[in-house]
Amino acid sequence: MKKPLKIGWIFQSDKMCGISFYAHKYVAALENLITIIQIDPLDIILHKKEAMALLHQCDMVHIQYETSLFFYKNRDRYDELCNSIKCPVVVSLHEVYDDFPDVFPRRLIKGTAPVRAIKKIIYDLRHPVQTALTKHISQSFYAEKIFVHSNFQKEILIKKNIAPAKMIILPFLVQNRQKESTLSWSKSETIHLGASGFINDSYNYDLLFESLALCDMPWKFTWIGGTRRPEDGSLLERINGEIKRRKWSDRFTITGVVTSEQRNGLIDCIHIYLALFKYKSSSGSLSVALGAKKIILATSIPLALEMTSEFPAMRISPSNAGDLAAEIKRIINSVDARTSLLDSVERYCEKYDSGNIASQLVLEYERLIDV
């Protein structure tokens, strides 16, 4: 008879971040299958003795990785944590890129050897989180196995010299909230477009505004969410300025940060969800929209292309505003297009339902610790 597994999950327990939302969903799906001990990274730093005592009770520790979570007083504590854990460690990576978005790549530093050496020292001082991530990658995150959400993330890590056999692809789970996909409206009805998540530079707001301006039908748009980081405040100001300039205050709404329950209710009211990302390698907001059985228009990035390779559960949107506006109108006017999309959403959600993905993860745990 197999003994019940006890797995330590390390993630921010009460923070406004996508990884925390993801982890809470996963823990809820796992709790009927195994025992989960939740530990916040900050508790490990501030109360190491007590936190490590809990982790030493575990058969395995599963780290929900984001480099900055393991920084304290500008010092990287990740290596110290992993070296203190006595049982096997596995890691889930959520955002994986060839280079850090919006940060000059360290590998492109030029100059003579002495000049490059000085520039790299300065770079490391200015970008400690990115430098720490590079170091963690070189150590394969001190993990027995690394979970990624997609094959394109795995391919990026292979190029960074992480062994393919060390990685396991486990797609982003979906919480099915709606039993059926339904989408209908009268021709006199205002089309409700929307998106959700934290406001940040990964979303193409310029494309959004230009597309909305070209929509020749009554519409309203709701952004469900707000800013998470102080540095995103200037972007929010720019967005609000554009709304005011276009005189859209009565039809373009930004809710600000909302609870999961409030978010779900607001998404239910949306007809078409616009996932117009400039870059993204995983997305909780997309999984929420899929779980709500929404029609989704998404930009052509690796994340969306891979997610639609088996089930075309999202329409990959044209790259320019005029064609995107025309695509919105085509979906509105075509029952067949809507029916086909929603059928694919149903099949995608059935395969990647949170219960199914959680069960797959437990099987991986069992293989690794040979229960």
Q: Residues 113, 228: one domain?
A: no
Q: Residues 217, 327: one domain?
A: yes
Is 118 within a domain?
yes
What are the beta bridge partners of residue 221? Answer: 193, 252
Nearest residue to 143 (alpha-carbon basis) of 157, 128, 130: 157
Structural domain total, the chain? 2
**Residue 271, C-beta contacts closer than 8 angstroms, at least 6 positions apart:** 183, 185, 191, 192, 193, 295, 332
Is 279 within a domain?
yes
Is 1 within a domain?
no
Report the relative pairing of strands 75-76 and 71-72 from DSSP bridges. Answer: antiparallel
Intra-chain end-to-end CA distance of the chain, in Å: 9
CB atoms within 10 A of CB 87: 16
Q: Is the separation of the CB atoms in 149 and 125 below 8 Å? A: no
Q: Residues 358, 339: one domain?
A: no
Q: Residues 59, 149: one domain?
A: yes
Phi, psi of 344 (to 5 degrees): -65, -35
- Cα four-point dihedral sign 177, 178, 181, 187: negative
What pLDDT does 369 receive?
87
Is 183 within a domain?
no
Q: Residues 49, 153: one domain?
A: yes
Q: Residues 121, 148: one domain?
A: yes
Residue 217: half-sphere exposure toward Cβ, Cα within 13 Å: 20
Q: Which amino acid is at 182?
A: T
Is 44 within a domain?
yes
CATH code of the domain covering residue 96: 3.40.50.2000
Instruction: Give the span between the Cα atoms of 215 and 209, in whole angstroms.
Output: 10
Q: Is the separation of the CB atoms in 278 and 298 below 8 Å? A: no
Q: Residues 43, 166: one domain?
A: yes
Report the relative pairing of strands 272-275 and 145-148 from DSSP bridges. Answer: unpaired
Q: Residues 230, 100: one domain?
A: no
Q: Residues 270, 345: one domain?
A: yes
Write out the chain's pLDDT in tens, 371 residues: 466 799 999 998 876 677 888 888 888 889 889 999 999 998 988 898 999 999 999 999 999 999 988 888 888 999 999 999 999 999 999 989 888 777 887 888 888 888 888 888 888 888 888 889 999 999 999 999 999 999 999 999 999 999 999 999 998 888 877 665 566 666 678 999 999 999 999 999 999 999 999 998 899 999 999 998 888 899 999 999 999 999 999 999 999 988 888 888 999 999 999 999 998 878 888 888 999 999 999 999 999 999 999 889 889 987 899 999 999 999 988 888 888 999 999 999 999 998 899 999 999 999 998 74
Report the relative pairing of strands 167-169 and 191-196 from DSSP bridges. Answer: unpaired
Please give the residue range of the domain that contains residue 270.
Answer: 191-351
Instruction: Give the span between the Cα atoms of 350 and 356, in whole angstroms.
Output: 8
Q: Residues 201, 70: one domain?
A: no
Q: Is the separation of the CB atoms in 223 and 193 below 8 Å? A: no
What pLDDT does 319 receive?
80
What are the beta bridge partners of residue 315? Answer: 297
Nearest residue to 221 (alpha-carbon basis) of 245, 248, 185: 248
Instruction: List the beta strands (DSSP E) in 40-162.
Output: 60-65, 71-72, 75-76, 89-93, 145-148
- Classify the phi-psi angles of 71: left when phi > 0, otherwise alpha if psi is within -120 to 50, otherwise beta: beta
Q: Residues 238, 341: one domain?
A: yes
